[in-house]
Structure 1
Amino acid sequence: MKIRLLLKQSIKDFESKKILYFIFMIFLAVGFCIITGLHSFYIAYTNKIDQAERTLSKIAFNNYPKFASSNKLNDSSFEGYIDKNDNIYQFVYKIIDSNYSKDLKIKELKNNNKLEKTIKNYIDFIGSNNGELLKYQKLSNNSNEFIIGQKLFEHFSVEQIKNIATTTRSISNNLFAEYILNSDLYKTYDHQLSWNSFYIGKDFLGSNDVNLTLLTDLKEFNSSQVFNKINFASKDRSMIIIDSIYDINKLSKDLKTKYFDKRNYVFVSPHYLKKYNLKLGSIYKFSYNKTIYETLILGSGYKADSTDENLVQNVLLSSKLYYQIILQNRLSKLVAFNSKITNNYIEFEKLLDKDFMSIKKGSSVFKNHTYTFNVSIRTRDQQLKIIILILILMVILIIVTFYFISELLIQNIKDKLFILKSLGVNKIQLATLASFSSFIPLIVAFIIGISLSFSMKSIFINVNSDTFSFVIPKFNIPIQTIIFVSLLTILMFIIFILTTSLHLSARKFSFQNALKSKTPNLLYQKFNRLIWWAKPNIRITTSFIFKNIYKNITTFLILIISFSLLLFSIQFTISITQSTNSIISRYKPYKSVKLTDNNLFYSTTINENKIYKPSYQTISSKEQLDELKQIKTIDDLVYMLINTTFNKQIVKNYPIDLKQYLLDKQFIHSIETSEFKDLIDQIVNKLDDFKSKNLNWSNRIDQLKQLIIDNQKTIQIEFNKIQNIIKEQRIVVANINNKYTNTKIALPVNFLFGKSVAFNSNKDYLSFYNDQINITQIIRNNKIEKTYLYTKFLSASYKDKLAYDFILKNNFINKNQLVKDSRTITNENIKINNEYKNLPVLNVVITNKMANYFSIKRNDILKLTPSFVDLKSDFYIYAKVNQISKKDSLYNAIYFDKQDYFNLLLEYKNHLNKNSLNSTKNNLKEQLETIISQINDDHTTLNNISFSTSSIPTNIRYFTIPIMSFLSFEYNNKFLNITNNTNSDGSQITNYWPEKNNSFSKVDSIENSAIIRLLKSIDQKVYNFEILAKILKSNVFAMSSAIKQTRNYIVVVMIVVIMILVLLILYENKKVIILLKSIGYKKFSIIKYFISGYFIGASLALLISFIIVKKLIEILSYSFATSYGIGLEFLLTKDLVLIGILVYLVFVVLVLISISFFIRKQSVTRILEQT
């Protein structure tokens, strides 16, 4: 068949059905646009993320075990890893021999055959300190082991920094870590450490910080060599990904000498470079700790572990700047790595067992830490799920619609095909002729769709522009996308050819079958016999339904997909809005809370006795708060120090107990705005003034004054830290309330000692006991999953109905199952050591976020260990997850009854092991009994947090410094001394310092005082529900905004699909409509008979699409709750229902109008022509 005939016939087809072809082409063009745009973004995005994520370490360690040399092989009392094969010894020996063999002392040890013994002794000492290289300073300066320790510390902590020449963060101050990282046995690579960051804006409550990261020293390379090195390194999973680099040869002589040669340059992230319009090869200034650093921007790049961190961008430093800014203050303890052998901790531990001998299995504190990057993973996963979902629905819609249009097109030309076949034209030529008419609109739509796809891709790039460290180009299409769309186009063309071939091969498409008379469908004949009693109009209607049943099903399927796409795009944004708003409604009228990390007890071991005491008391009313002595001036501070240091009533009208004081916000503001020298001078002058008026206390005043003067430098360092922390907290508080940006206004922060504010529950406050608890087992269907999780808990007394109902209202338990005198304790059969035991369990409620985050289900049994005892202890209880609080998605937490919790803690030994709790070596039993008694008398006992109607949480306004130690001053006329005192009750200032085993051994070590550690936690676990709702909205803004904009394209698709369906209906039933009109049927009757089946199909499609959208939202809800802290909920809102009905009515109206218009155009003459 000639090409001319094909073209001529195709043109005739176009002319006769130009409306159908035009709408068909629009549909395909928009479909290709959406599919190409989404797939292009998906590929570009995943390529960038995968390039980075493949480099991420899977194992990280920051709690190292004790270890020893082979000297301890026969020491059965040693708990830890023993270097049975002398591998650590050989590792240390090679370093010393290779780098320090010319050192005179090392030569001497070697010549006297003392080097091996010295190294092993050094390993024993450092190993007893968990491998911390810096601990060599505790050795005698004259010892041989001190020399070895000094050399190793220099090697690992100094030389590597100065001469770093890798793209990994391979610096550590731990000998065990260095051995693991450098041993061929473990085949590790990509070492990475934790890092600091400096602020260029705000932080969590709407901030933007810039990470500082060590980058390869590029001095010895030109640009092409750099790229070769980086590209090669990336194959080895380099942690640094270089995007672009300035040509070093183009640098001016001055810039090269002043900046490049001195290694004073940085790399910034591509996004940071674009956002702030920075230029490579230019000089810019950065600020860190109030110091301005002027540096050259040499190129752009980013860390593999920050590709997708919301509002976080990178500044990558050369080794010189990294050492100058970061490592001069701190060496990292966290080391993470990949292993070519395993990235699984359990398998890795097997390697350790081969390498070392462990006398006591399981005694090590060497724990698994999976180095995950939740922000990167969460954003990627959620966006890709939605993109994939829309892609799948669009592909299905295009293929299904295309198939049925192909059917229609073939049906409409079958008469011509039949005539041509009768004339001897073969099937291949006929199929070519039929397919040619669909080929042109398909190709045109493909070209238009590809061209428009950049707009679709831009939607997702634009709304995510502040999310990525990298930059995704808008105007390019990945080869994978071209292949995917091309294959889809080919598939559609093949579908058309196969559909044509099937029709041409059908038996009815023969001359003999064409002459046979047609009978009604067998199924219809049987059904018609069943409704013989029905009226004629009903029987006619059913006949039309049966005649069009194939097209009814077609309409039904296409509308299901179309409705689902549109309604999902609408419901998704509704669910996002509702979920974020539900945060406010869930906690209404309360606006904020700060969860605490304060342990219930402070403890110490004295003469093998473990002593516990409560670390705080509860203030439950404003009257109790008003009784505290407020420190507002320097005079108040000095008088407080005098009385609380010596625990004597030296100054009248000032308590001797530090717990009776409150450090007022005005005094804290004076610290924020004062100069250190002025403050010290005022304190010393006030002491002198007091001494002159109270000579009988002159010795004590001199002691205190001398203590301050002797430690002035240390106090100054600490003062500066406190001052900086307060200023940083101002940024946080100002994000809650803008007025605190004014530095003249005091921050609403007061400090209390050993007291925690938790006002009685009322319309303004909800009071709870909050602490941390450890989960060491999850038992499901009597199968134990060992784990090491920790989470928060909130508990309330049943006597406090407001608080109790807030967390435990839905904790329904059958009263017949309760243990006597309890409200939430039941007995459960639990399998322990292959034996079932009937044990009491605490029925608890967990938050939705915790359930999703830790994959905990209802009726799971949790083995809980209180935070105040060691995880290795056998002190624990069992809890049953009775309910999951679907409304609580902000934080991980367990809710339970306070009295039942402590009763179970006290009694659990009666069911498991009666020895430990009753041991004379600790007073824990007595403390628990006292607490239970106090709770029964006063339900506010132990409460330490309040949900508040204030925007700034109560526990920021009144920040607790808990009692941390038994350390007390002892004194005489000549000196002060510090010691453990079992009568300690938090009255002295030293009771708030950690003990000696926490490396704070001297009174003058104020730099490491508890207040610094605690001050840094002021803004931690702070929840302002209104601000968090806004933050969560901003976190999901990218997706919701993209979906909203994508909805416009979906609406176009929806309209075009409806038009196509209308045309399908008309073309399918044209002859029947003409026939009915020619025999005298009225227009209304024709419409009624004709469209009933389609309307039923559309109605069912709408209902089913609601169900499909509900299921899709439920599927996404789990991952959203895990990632963002908000679950998605399907809400059948008025808007959604109205839009669904509106779309349905659009379809109905278009069908009615089209058929009415078609019927009206059918005149008698036209009917005769058609017949």
Structure 2
Amino acid sequence: MKLRLVLKQSLRDFKSKKILYSIFLLFLIVAFSIITGLFSFQFKFEQYFDNMFKHAPNIAFNYPRFASSNKKDDDKFAGFIDKNDNLYKYVDDIFKNINKSEHEKLKKDNKLEPSIKEYIDVIGNHRGDLRKYDEIENQDAKEIGKKIFHYFCDEQIKGYKSTTRSFSKNLLMQYLEESKDKYKIHNQWLKWDHWATTLEDRYGSSRVFLETIPEIRDFWENKKDFDEKVNENYKFKNQVKIESQINVLKLTDQQKQSIKEQRYFFASPKYVKNNNLKLGEYYEFKTTVGWTNPMLLVGTCYSLDSIFEKDSSKEAHIFLPPNLNHIKYWINMIDIAFDSSIAKDYKKFNKLFLNDFKLKQPNDLEFKDHTLDRTFYDNKQYVVDAVKGKNILFAVNSGIPILMIFLVCVVFYFIADQLVKLQRENLSFLRSLGVSKLKLSLLTISSVIFPLIISLIIGISTSSFISQIFVDVVKNDYPFIWSNSLFSEKTAFLLIFISIVMFIMFILVTATKLSDKNLSIYSVNKSKAPKWGYKLFKKTINSAPSNVKIGFAFSFKNIYKNIVTFVLLLISFTTLFYSVQFNSSVKNSIESIRQAYKPYESVKLQNVLPVTYDASDLTNQETNNRKLSYSSIQTLDKINEIKSLEELINALLNTTFLGDDIKNYMISQELIHKIENTDPEQFINDLKNAIDNSKLDINDKQKEFMKKMIVDHKQQIISTDQKIIDFIKEYRSKLSLIDNKYDNPDIAVPINLLFGKTLSLKSKENSIASYWSHSLMYSSNISKYNGLTNDRFIKTTGIAVNSNDQISKNFALKDIEKEIKNRFKDSKTISIERFKVDKKTRDIPVLNVAATNTFIKQSGAGLGGILKVTLDKTFEFDQVASFPFVYIKIAKVYDKQNIYSGLYFDKKDFIDMLYNFNYLTSDDQKNVDIQVNDEIKNIIKPIYDGINNDGDFLNNTNFSKDELPINNQYFTLPIYSSLSVLNQNNQWTTGYNSESNGKQITNYWFPITERSDDIDADIESSLLVTYLKSMLNNSFNFNKFAEIVQKQLNPLTEAIQKVLYYLVVVSISISMILIILILYENRRTIVLFKAMGYKLKEINQYLIFGYVVAATLAVGFAILIVNHIILMLGSQFTDTFNLTLSFYWSGSFILICIIPFILFIVMMLILVKAFISKQSPKNIFQEA
């Protein structure tokens, strides 16, 4: 009977508070739907990433230089020295096993050791490339190299179908592979390179990337044979995640034959789905020689290399088994990297390795990028971008569900606490009737457990709608296919954990409220005695008006509920405000990109255009004959355009034989367009015909010599021409993003080539800002006068200003001089700063600069920070003991400039400091404060003299009002050498002429060595091709950049906007729950006031005063918390999107701050009025 009474009372409680429970249930459903949906998405996304990244190795050589112990005393060598002869012994053992008789013969003649070491030196200088043995002059060493090459490329792969053996083009990698125990290497990783990127398919994809995939055990008829041929670490070598695979038990004879012949492929899941491909069917791909034979689709997989597949660019990935018939394919394909058994840390492995190999000149710039301190995928920018994108998504996404968990727990605790209080009388009466505490606990728990269970079931069922919102953000960027349900074990464990926490909270509440003391019949309606502080305060306001005393009495009585109201509204408002503020901040930050660079639309920053060149010859000998590689012009009035092939030949003949200067010419976009559409072979013939048809006053010998030069360098010209054509096609596709008219191949791309001159326009009418930009290196280590020694220098871009050019100065260095104190002599931006160097406090000249916000984020420096800076590339090939640097101080920060990392500074002051105050200290001159190196002064002198004569000297950069930067339309070919056509004894020949100064085309030509075995590779690395490709680097259209960022972030902001609707429901639910609970607990007081004749307005005033204060404080603190969250996200956005988020008072944000607050107050007033109108003193002891 007592149990029946408990259940009856519980049902009555549900009925009496059905509105409260309905709203509470709605809140829990929405909250659990958000929590489940967002965390399900994150857990599944993390799982996909783990599948791709768990195979990535932690240690990798990026192909360093190395040498035998013969080089240990060679001061000019930079790389690893085989100090213990480990590599020598390794090669010796291999050669001995290959050809024992030859080994013994060389050993007997004392030729073995020097030959092997010479082989190691040559191969090591080519970063271990096994193919370079043919460059060895010592015939014995060359024969050893040949044997080693064929051993790795032929003998090693005989009889092996699987790719899990070690086949690399690198000698040092092979040595490490076979020295696993010595260096504690337990996992070998094979890095599979793309070996073709020009395939097409039948479905419109013009860029189908091919990757190789290790053999699949299921595809071997004899599994035992496979196991014998594959070592135990095979499972770690497979750098792809196979998602689905054909059923090997149901293969047809044709399919079995295709697999046996390796005519099969895997494809990325999205590629299969988008093109409606089917496993077990045959498909074709188009190569440069035509369509392939039909290949069998056997499964779907993805890898790190296929992590991005953009639908817009129609990129796709397929995976093929290795073809062992093509040896060259093998040695070009496979690199090796390693994992270490002692730690997931390359430094530990590095230490072991350096026990046997001495690292010489580790700070040599050419060697620095090839040391061990680089992780495997550092140079995989698309992988880095993918990780950054995922981290941004998680950072933005995580805030909402985490805040929602806190909100659910706090609401649940408050509900539990208030329900126990509201049922106190009933529980006391039931306890007096003999109902046990356990049954009373069940009674109270049932009031909230049932809504919790129902909300969990419905929330999980509807969570897929929330998950899909964020799946839509990334589904087009990744190769995997998202399943319909993302609910996982991790999500289930999370929900169970939350439920347990909530249950424990309720138990703690009921444990304290259901004590015998609290549930005594005598404690019903008993009030606690007032505290001493309250008595003192009441005595203080005793003479105050009655309404004031009553108001404060209400505030003290409800102070606990006011605090709870504050906490609940704070979390609710924070979640709501964050969603709106994030979108507002993104929108404002994108707009700030456009505004930060006004009135300019675009710029091309120069970072690879060299300032000076060695005019003596092309060797490494010392020289004091430094010359400038280019000069600046401000107009094209005196430049002759070359628009046709005939004009090109006339210009070449004029400048080669008649003394004209090729710097006065420019190859126009019309001729570039003709070259783009001319076959390279035909181009050669057209050049020779144009020479024959030339009407210039030159003799036949000169014409024949020019034609001979073309014939002798035919392959070189054809290769260069093809590289230019390839570049133009790529450049055209980039330009079409700015202006789609360039999609039409009949329209010439605006590429004009200048020789030794760079166009730096100046126009007051168009307010064109003109600068000198150059690659810089900076270091935060200011503690020593040590050049680059022991410093880690990082690259950035320097933008130098002519301080007399007010247009340029107002954009880059406006008012910077106002920030400078302790000015140095008559300089404009150099100050004297006092700081500690070499353990001694000194007064040092420092250049004051302005920095972009991206530079500040990159460097970790701040306003007032001091750094060391030097010019990049200027001194790299010179015989100087160290690199010069100057100290700089960041005097201004441009917070809105986030597109590029750069420093703005006064050009004259910078060169003056570099010339007169560069800091160099050699080992035997530790106490010299300032040492100016004569060699460095000689290198800088042409720049120093030029800038002192003309402030616009060397200007190579324009901030332009055009959509396409001026320096992307007029490109400078720098002077590279003094190689010239000379007349010696009435014979025309080529040689070096230090007085040529860029007058002939040969001064801009990259020479191909006679021993070159790969002209294409040499042309690829030539200055001509390098500088053409650099046109795409550091080119910025500010509006287009903003549009791209906006397009990237639109899916995310739209997702946040959709989640906002759910958060509005949560906020309204919280407000209504709070108001109803407030009314329930204050019911008797309200009825009492009503019986005493108080008006509704007065009751409202007393009742809601404390809650209005709580809501107001909640709004204020929520804004502060959101501001902090946005600031934390800012650095990640700068790193990923070059976009700095900042708190922004948008109209939508102001409204979202006001509306919930007003809505809470209005709802309270309306519900209070409705509640009071239904109350009567006669039913004060009845349930509400």
- TM-score by length of structure 2 reads 0.89
Tell me the residue number matched to 1:216: 214
Inter-partner Cα distance in structure 2 for 1:62 and 1:510: 79
Segments of structure 1 that go 5 or more residues without pairing to the other structure are 202-206, 650-655
Within a 5 Å distance, the mapping from 1:290-329 to structure 2 comes to 292-293=291-292, 295-304=295-304, 307=307, 315-320=317-322
Change in Cα spacing, 1:8 to 1:1167, as seen in structure 2 (3 Å) is closer
2:819 paired with 1:807:
no
Change in Cα spacing, 1:80 to 1:593, as seen in structure 2 (3 Å) is closer
Change in Cα spacing, 1:671 to 1:302, as seen in structure 2 (3 Å) is same
Question: Percentage identity across aligned positions?
Answer: 35
Change in Cα spacing, 1:565 to 1:517, as seen in structure 2 (3 Å) is closer
Alpha-carbon distance, 1:730 to partner: 1.2
**Cα contact 2:854–2:898 (8 A) shared by 1:** yes
**Cα contact 2:1115–2:1153 (8 A) shared by 1:** yes
2:449 paired with 1:452:
no
Tell me the residue number matched to 2:925: none
**Cα contact 2:1096–2:1169 (8 A) shared by 1:** yes
Change in Cα spacing, 1:733 to 1:583, as seen in structure 2 (3 Å) is same
Read off the aligned partner of 1:1036 and give its amino acid letter: L
1:869 maps to which of 861, 875, 881: 875
Tell me the residue number matched to 2:632: 618
Alpha-carbon distance, 1:778 to partner: 3.4
2:860 maps to which of 845, 855, 880: 855
**Cα contact 1:214–1:322 (8 A) shared by 2:** no
Within a 5 Å distance, the mapping from 1:451-850 to structure 2 comes to 451-505=461-515, 507-514=517-524, 519-596=529-606, 597-603=608-614, 607-609=621-623, 611-621=625-635, 625-644=636-655, 646-649=656-659, 656-690=660-694, 694=697, 697-760=699-762, 762=764, 763=766, 765-779=768-782, 786-809=791-814, 811=816, 814-850=819-855
| Worse-matched range after superposition: 754-763 or 473-482 | 754-763
Alpha-carbon distance, 1:1003 to partner: 12
Alpha-carbon distance, 1:542 to partner: 1.2
Within a 5 Å distance, the mapping from 1:344-359 to structure 2 comes to 344=345, 346-357=347-358
State the secondary structure of the residue aligned to 2:875. coil
Alpha-carbon distance, 1:635 to partner: 0.6
Change in Cα spacing, 1:598 to 1:350, as seen in structure 2 (3 Å) is same
| Worse-matched range after superposition: 232-241 or 438-447 | 232-241
How big is each residue's C-alpha offset from its partner over 1:120-177, in whole Å with a ceiling of 9 and x where there is no partner? 331233334443433322224x812112222333445677799886778976433334
1:957 maps to which of 958, 969, 975: 969
2:81 paired with 1:82:
yes
2:451 paired with 1:441:
yes
Count of residue correspondences: 1147
Change in Cα spacing, 1:85 to 1:393, as seen in structure 2 (3 Å) is same
State the secondary structure of the residue aligned to 1:819. coil
How big is each residue's C-alpha offset from its partner over 1:356-413, in whole Å with a ceiling of 9 and x where there is no partner? 3467786775533334342122112111122322122001100101111111211121
Tell me the residue number matched to 1:266: 265
Read off the aligned partner of 1:907 and give its amino acid letter: N
How big is each residue's C-alpha offset from its partner over 1:278-324, in whole Å with a ceiling of 9 and x where there is no partner? 33333344456686556443322222365367779652432547997
- TM-score by length of structure 1 reads 0.90
| Worse-matched range after superposition: 562-571 or 84-93 | 84-93
Alpha-carbon distance, 1:109 to partner: 5.2
Alpha-carbon distance, 1:1072 to partner: 1.1
Change in Cα spacing, 1:238 to 1:676, as seen in structure 2 (3 Å) is closer
Inter-partner Cα distance in structure 2 for 1:852 and 1:73: 41
| Worse-matched range after superposition: 455-464 or 76-85 | 76-85
State the secondary structure of the residue aligned to 2:355. helix
Read off the aligned partner of 2:553 and give its amino acid letter: S
1:1031 maps to which of 1038, 1044, 1047: 1044
Read off the aligned partner of 2:851 and give its amino acid letter: I
Inter-partner Cα distance in structure 2 for 1:208 and 1:401: 56
Inter-partner Cα distance in structure 1 for 2:388 and 2:536: 57
Inter-partner Cα distance in structure 2 for 1:774 and 1:1042: 41
Inter-partner Cα distance in structure 1 for 2:929 and 2:700: 52
| Worse-matched range after superposition: 27-36 or 346-355 | 346-355
Inter-partner Cα distance in structure 2 for 1:522 and 1:598: 80
Inter-partner Cα distance in structure 1 for 2:896 and 2:1098: 54
Tell me the residue number matched to 2:997: 985
Read off the aligned partner of 2:755 and give its amino acid letter: F
Within a 5 Å distance, the mapping from 1:994-1013 to structure 2 comes to 994=1006, 1009-1013=1022-1026
How big is each residue's C-alpha offset from its partner over 1:211-270, in whole Å with a ceiling of 9 and x where there is no partner? 43322144983499799999986863642222222235555544554x534434332222
State the secondary structure of the residue aligned to 2:587. helix
Read off the aligned partner of 2:590 and give its amino acid letter: T
Change in Cα spacing, 1:993 to 1:714, as seen in structure 2 (3 Å) is closer
Tell me the residue number matched to 2:900: 891
State the secondary structure of the residue aligned to 2:917. helix
| Worse-matched range after superposition: 1001-1010 or 943-952 | 1001-1010
Inter-partner Cα distance in structure 2 for 1:473 and 1:835: 65
**Cα contact 1:56–1:338 (8 A) shared by 2:** no
**Cα contact 2:36–2:460 (8 A) shared by 1:** yes
Alpha-carbon distance, 1:68 to partner: 1.2
**Cα contact 2:801–2:907 (8 A) shared by 1:** yes
Inter-partner Cα distance in structure 1 for 2:905 and 2:542: 68
**Cα contact 1:1000–1:1008 (8 A) shared by 2:** no
How big is each residue's C-alpha offset from its partner over 1:77-131, in whole Å with a ceiling of 9 and x where there is no partner? 8665432332112322344455x449x8668658978555532331233334443
Alpha-carbon distance, 1:193 to partner: 6.4
Change in Cα spacing, 1:78 to 1:395, as seen in structure 2 (3 Å) is closer
Within a 5 Å distance, the mapping from 1:914-953 to structure 2 comes to 922=935, 924-926=936-938, 928-953=940-965
Alpha-carbon distance, 1:431 to partner: 1.4
Inter-partner Cα distance in structure 2 for 1:1120 and 1:761: 36
Read off the aligned partner of 2:211 and give its amino acid letter: T
| Worse-matched range after superposition: 163-172 or 1134-1143 | 163-172
How big is each residue's C-alpha offset from its partner over 1:417-447, in whole Å with a ceiling of 9 and x where there is no partner? 1012122323222212211222211111111
How big is each residue's C-alpha offset from its partner over 1:920-954, in whole Å with a ceiling of 9 and x where there is no partner? 7x4x5245344334324432211111121111111
Alpha-carbon distance, 1:21 to partner: 0.9
State the secondary structure of the residue aligned to 1:216. coil
| Worse-matched range after superposition: 546-555 or 811-820 | 811-820
Inter-partner Cα distance in structure 1 for 2:467 and 2:971: 49
How big is each residue's C-alpha offset from its partner over 1:831-879, in whole Å with a ceiling of 9 and x where there is no partner? 4444444322222222222222343333333222211113972322222
Inter-partner Cα distance in structure 1 for 2:1024 and 2:1046: 35
Change in Cα spacing, 1:310 to 1:595, as seen in structure 2 (3 Å) is farther
**Cα contact 2:242–2:301 (8 A) shared by 1:** yes
Alpha-carbon distance, 1:957 to partner: 0.9
**Cα contact 1:309–1:375 (8 A) shared by 2:** no
Inter-partner Cα distance in structure 1 for 2:555 and 2:41: 44
Change in Cα spacing, 1:674 to 1:1147, as seen in structure 2 (3 Å) is same
Change in Cα spacing, 1:213 to 1:1169, as seen in structure 2 (3 Å) is closer
State the secondary structure of the residue aligned to 1:266. strand
**Cα contact 1:302–1:314 (8 A) shared by 2:** no
**Cα contact 1:848–1:888 (8 A) shared by 2:** yes
Segments of structure 2 that go 5 or more residues without pairing to the other structure are 923-927
1:126 maps to which of 75, 99, 123: 123
Inter-partner Cα distance in structure 2 for 1:255 and 1:1081: 91
